[in-house]
């Protein structure tokens, strides 16, 4: 009855979205709607698969519907910039947007909560980040967001490893001098060997998403001490990359924490209210078990 009352007399529920391609299998909608229910917040979330040549049209349509906010996933995190009005520091530095929020003046702001969500998960396992050297694979939207937050957190050094070295060098140049963090790049030719103790190793590509057997071309030396291997892939949660790292003695951090934390931050942007991270993580666990 309350829902019917709202539909007939208003106000209408706030509308949120996720756009990407592909988006089949993306669990964000279920996670967000469960959070809204727990908060008793009148929000509805839709997931939309958009063709690359229709991105501008899709965003203009969403704006016409006065959506309150939304999420952007691959391959559009760097393509949405021309269609937004303002950007947070995280979005500008990473050159990637994963969260869009309607502002009080009717404009749309792009933010990047991916890196913030990752850093929050990492801090739960690593207390001495400023003393750590980080090796990160990838240079796309998620990788860029994570590097930005690592630099802002002033880790000792970030080494960017990418098949297309020019992309890694462009990212390193953009962030050079933002803090005291040293940023360097390495060519990724053949199998990349992890041999150094004390590293934080981040798999920030989409390799392994929805494929439990796929893994980037990396090998971990046996007997590693105090190494933590992190994967941004959230489905499966225990990826081939994490299994390979664990077999060598490294600690591991899956992509669920990052996904949950970025979602919590997104809801805070949209509503000004806190969401329950445990409710959202449980929703993901339920979605993945179906």
Q: Which residues are catalytic?
A: 77
The whole-angstrom separation of Cα 174 and Cα 29 is 33
Under 8 Å between Cβ of 263 and 35: yes
Check: CB of residue 240 under 8 Å from CB of residue 213: yes
Report how far residue 288's alpha carbon sits from residue 41's, in angstroms, rounded to the nearest whole number: 24
CA distances from 28 to 47, 105, 262, 272, 276 (A): 8, 27, 10, 19, 15
CA neighbor of 72 nearest in space, from 32, 17, 109: 17
Q: Which long-range contacts (CB under 8 A, 24 or more apart) does 182-188 make?
A: 182/156, 182/157, 182/158, 183/147, 183/151, 183/157, 183/158, 184/157, 184/158, 184/159, 184/160, 185/159, 185/160, 185/161, 186/159, 186/160, 186/161, 187/161, 188/137, 188/161, 188/162, 188/163, 188/217
Contacts of 65 (CB under 8 A, 6+ apart): 15
Distance set, CA 79 to CA 55, 82, 239, 271 (Å): 8, 7, 28, 25
């Amino acid at each position: 009855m309350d829902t019917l009352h709202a539909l007939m007399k208003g106000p209408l529920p706030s509308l949120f979205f996720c756009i990407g391609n592909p988006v089949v299998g993306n669990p964000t909608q279920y996670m967000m709607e469960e959070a809204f229910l727990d908060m008793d917040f009148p929000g509805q979330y839709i997931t939309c698969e958009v063709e690359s040549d229709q991105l501008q049209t899709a965003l203009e349509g969403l704006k016409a519907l006065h959506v309150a906010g939304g999420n952007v996933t691959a391959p559009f995190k760097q393509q949405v910039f021309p269609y937004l009005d303002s950007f947070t520091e995280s979005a500008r530095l990473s050159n990637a947007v994963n969260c869009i929020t309607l502002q009080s003046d009717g404009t749309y702001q792009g933010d990047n909560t991916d890196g913030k969500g990752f850093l929050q998960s990492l801090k739960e396992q690593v207390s001495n980040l400023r003393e750590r050297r980080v090796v990160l694979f990838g240079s796309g939207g998620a990788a860029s967001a994570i590097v930005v937050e690592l630099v802002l957190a002033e880790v000792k050094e970030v080494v960017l490893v990418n098949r297309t070295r020019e992309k890694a060098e462009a990212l390193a140049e953009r962030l050079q001098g933002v803090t005291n963090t040293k940023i360097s790049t390495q060519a990724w030719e053949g199998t990349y060997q992890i041999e150094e103790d004390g590293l934080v190793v981040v798999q920030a590509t989409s390799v392994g998403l929805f494929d439990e057997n796929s893994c980037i071309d990396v090998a971990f030396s046996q007997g590693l001490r105090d190494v933590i291997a992190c994967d941004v892939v959230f489905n499966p949660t225990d990826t081939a990359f994490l299994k390979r790292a664990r077999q060598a003695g490294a600690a591991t951090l899956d992509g669920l924490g990052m996904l949950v934390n970025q979602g919590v931050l997104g809801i805070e942007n949209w509503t000004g209210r806190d969401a329950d991270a445990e409710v959202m993580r449980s929703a993901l666990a339920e979605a993945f078990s179906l």
